[in-house]
Amino acid sequence: MSSLANIGRQFLLKSGSQIVSLLTIMYFTRILSPEQLGQYFYFESLLGMVAIFAGFGISGATEKYVSEKSDRSLWFSSGLFLIICTSIAISALFIIFNSKVHEILSSQYLLLFIIALVSTRLYSIYQHLLRAELRAATAGSIDLARFVVIFAISFLLVKYGLGSTGLILGYILSHVLLLPISVFISKTSVTIPRFQEGRELIHFAKYYAINVLGSKIFYLADVVIIGILLTKADVGRYEIAWRLIFAGMMLNSIISNTVFSYISKSYGENDTKGITSEIGQSLRYILLIPFATAAGAFFIGQEVISLLFTADYTTPRLVITILGVGFIFQAIFSLFSRSLIAIDKPKMAFYATTAAITVNLVMNLLFIPIFGSLGAATATAVSYAFAAVIYYFTLRRYVKISFSWTRLKIQSSAAILMAIGLASTIKWMGKSSDILVIVYLLGGGAIYIVLLLSSHKIRYDIIKLLRETRY
């Protein structure tokens, strides 16, 4: 299956996952307080940060070598063994740190945290394996099922009065229940791991891990710092805004994650044209949505949050807008960082990501105590822009990068015209009802799509994506 076909099918499946996820959050914002929901978001964000060290980049390294090598079972088994070892070791260290040094997580959640850490790492490496087998759409199907399971279990447990603990249990059990299915449908068997493969995986992973850390830091650091310096209610409100913007950006992560194995495979075959082709094709699609999302966030982002998640979770308009602008750069950073690792340059990715992480952490620590969530959004957006620039100049040392400036002009112009249309309509009709907000949301999207389709080049790209997805 071609990368474009996998991207198209992944997009459909990920859309389903995002819809289920948003419906889940919409439901629980009406049942739980920002404080309770913020506790769940804090648990999830802290888990994500600790999972970086438990994973140590091994899952990504395993995906690369499995996609390149012929003896898949040996490479995967070695990676699986390493993941189990690192998960156990980091779990023990976290327990010691949390109890002896500084309690960053309440003891009532500690056991759940350890179970979540191990189960998510095992689930993650099988998701990487399916992508390495060039079956990203299959991985997407399993992830869609996982979101459905999260809602079903959380609904029952919260109904019985477990509150944020019910959400946490739903999150954990979704990974535990879907893991056996991933194991069953994978085409790679488990065998006895070997020291040589394990050593190579660790050598690659030690640089890859910092890239994973970078992508997670941009997402998790602000939430964790808000949770420590401000309140859990602030976490809940900021996370809702973050997730709403992120839902509009899912095509970016789908593209960068899917093409990784294809670029890696081309690199293993010394197919330079194949690498250039995959990156060039990805650049045609990766900015289709971000421009419109940023424009829409400014004009109706606050109202959409109030409509979907109640007024208790609304954040300042500027916060949502800055996050939307930041994700334009996130799209580029995501693709280029994954591409650099796919062509076996993890050390260069290490240097670029370290610089970006430093900027992000320093800005978060400086801005959040003063400006709150606005400072967190600014730190995220500036860090993404900085990372995108660094990775562009680093990657082009090894690969020819060809931006289609005509397409970028059309996409940005369409977003500007959509924004002008929204501004004019809002000035005339106001935003006095939820029905009007829905009309603006659907109308703005329709205007943007029509403007995009008026371009022959973009119309061809979209039709090609739909055709590949179908077959």
Q: Per-residue pLDDT tens for 301-354?
A: 777 888 777 777 777 888 888 888 888 888 888 888 888 888 878 778 778 888
pLDDT at residue 174, rounded to an integer? 93
DSSP H helices, 396-433, are: 405-429
Q: Tell me the HSE value of 329 on the side-chain side, using a 13 A CA sphere.
A: 22
pLDDT at residue 443, rounded to an integer? 84
- Render 91-128 in DSSP notation, one character per residue: HHHHHHIIIII---S-GGGHHHHHHHHHHHHHHHHHHH
Calculate mean pLDDT across residues 164-170: 89
Calculate mean pLDDT across residues 420-444: 79
Break the chain into its structural domains and give their ranges: 3-403
Please check whether residue 310 is in contact with residue 30, taking contact to mean a CB–CB distance below 8 angstroms.
yes
| CA atoms of 220 and 322, how far apart (whole Å) | 17
| CA atoms of 341 and 207, how far apart (whole Å) | 9
pLDDT score of 34 more than 80: no
pLDDT score of 82 more than 60: yes
pLDDT score of 194 more than 80: yes
| CA atoms of 210 and 92, how far apart (whole Å) | 22
Calculate mean pLDDT across residues 412-431: 81
pLDDT score of 27 more than 70: yes
SS3 of 359-395: the string is HHHHHHHHHHHHHCHHHHHHHHHHHHHHHHHHHHHHH
| CA atoms of 18 and 24, how far apart (whole Å) | 10
Q: Per-residue pLDDT tens for 195-233?
A: 888 888 888 787 777 777 666 676 667 777 887 777 777
Q: At 349, phi and psi to the nearest 5?
A: -65, -35
DSSP H helices, 230-271, are: 232-247, 250-268
Would you place residue 120 in the very low, low, confident or very high pLDDT band (cuts 50, 70, 90)? Answer: very high
Task: For residue 265, give both structure tokens.
Answer: 């495979």
Share of the chain above pLDDT 70, in %: 92
Calculate mean pLDDT across residues 104-118: 87
pLDDT score of 133 more than 90: no
Please check whether residue 331 is in contact with residue 287, taking contact to mean a CB–CB distance below 8 angstroms.
yes
pLDDT at residue 297, rounded to an integer? 82
Most confident of 129-133, 175-179, 217-221, 433-437: 175-179
pLDDT score of 471 more than 60: no
pLDDT at residue 121, rounded to an integer? 93
pLDDT at residue 8, rounded to an integer? 67
405: Cβ contacts below 8 Å, ≥ 6 apart = none
Q: Per-residue pLDDT tens for 56-81?
A: 888 888 888 887 766 888 888 998 99
Q: Helices 195-229 and 232-247 sit at what angle, rounded to 10 degrees?
A: 120
Q: At 145, phi and psi to the nearest 5?
A: -60, -35
- Render 275-344 in DSSP notation, one character per residue: HHHHHHHHHHHTTTTHHHHHHHHHHHHHHHHHHHH-GGG---HHHHHHHHHHHHHHHHHHHHHHHHHHTT
Would you place residue 48 in the very low, low, confident or very high pLDDT band (cuts 50, 70, 90)? Answer: confident
Q: What is the CA radius of gyration of the chain?
A: 22
pLDDT score of 258 more than 80: no
Predicted TM-score of the model (pTM): 0.72
pLDDT score of 5 more than 80: no
Average pLDDT, the chain: 82
| CA atoms of 365 and 368, how far apart (whole Å) | 6
Type of residue numbered 20: V
| CA atoms of 332 and 287, how far apart (whole Å) | 8
70: Cβ contacts below 8 Å, ≥ 6 apart = none
In this predicted structure, which of 23-32, 164-173, 374-383, 432-441 has the lowest mean pLDDT? 432-441
pLDDT score of 173 more than 80: yes
Calculate mean pLDDT across residues 112-123: 92
| CA atoms of 25 and 221, how far apart (whole Å) | 21
pLDDT at residue 214, rounded to an integer? 66
